[in-house]
Amino acid sequence: MRRLAAAGFRGLARLRGARAFHPRGLWLRGEAALLPVGPLPGAGGSRPVTARLSKGAGLPGAGPDVLGLAVRLPAGGGLDGPWDLALSSCGIGTATRCLPLPAADWGRARYGSLLPYRVAGQLVWLLAVPYGGPAGPAATGCLERRVRERPWRLALLARPARGGWLPAARLTLHAVLSAGEAGRTSFDPVLNRPAGWEPVPGWLAGLRESAYRGSRSGRRTPRDPAGRPGRR
């Protein structure tokens, strides 16, 4: 199954000349302010983040799509390495928080981890909720204009299997990055995660990692024989 997933995503990425899914995106810079006492590792203080907003199927214009929010928290402050959050528009109910759902507006979507983490023997889901005003229809150009006018803010919440959503951090995205400024950042939430935070179920996390690996491989170009992640 993992080989098939890798091969399928490699082929799709090669055909598109970009990521198999979320092929085009808007790169942003900002900060994450983790709560001093909260459910996330390395809690407390503010740190710079790199984020990417995208549409899952890559549909043009402002039509509804599964919207993606990827965020990289750098190492330091209690994190041994970078932590990549890969969140998708979803519901917030017991069943719908596990399903990617199309959304028509960046500011009205709810961005969830879909798969939980196992932390200290219990399951934990993550959810990012925009606040502070509208962000515009689901076109990256609309969001870019919004961020150039004023920062886009989101609350990051965590929910254990037993309990409600708990505030964990505040994300502020305030600067648009060019492809060159974004560099070769490539998000991988399965590999880049805190110690003790295990994506579950394991078999699905394994398939997901194979898909990421296949997509990265499919984006190789003659000028990039090592298959380093592209800048899209």
Most confident range (mean pLDDT) of 31-35, 94-98, 159-163 is 31-35
Most confident range (mean pLDDT) of 44-48, 59-63, 145-149 is 145-149
Q: Is the pLDDT of residue 56 over 90?
A: no
CA-to-CA distance for 129 and 106, rounded, in angstroms? Answer: 10
Q: Is the pLDDT of residue 137 over 50?
A: yes
Class (C level, CATH) for 2-218: mainly beta
166-177 vs 152-160, strand pairing mode: antiparallel
Eight-class DSSP state of 61: T
Whether the bond into 160 is cis, omega within 30 of 0: no
Confidence grade of residue 19 (pLDDT, cut at 50, 70, 90): low
The set of residues, in sequence order, having a beta carbon less than 8 Å from that of 52 and lying 6+ positions away, is 22, 25, 26, 27, 28, 68, 69, 70, 182, 185, 187
Q: Is the pLDDT of residue 23 over 80?
A: no
The set of residues, in sequence order, having a beta carbon less than 8 Å from that of 95 and lying 6+ positions away, is none
Q: Whose CA is closest to 197, among 68, 78, 33? A: 78
Average pLDDT, the chain: 81
* Least confident span in 120-124, 132-136, 210-214: 210-214
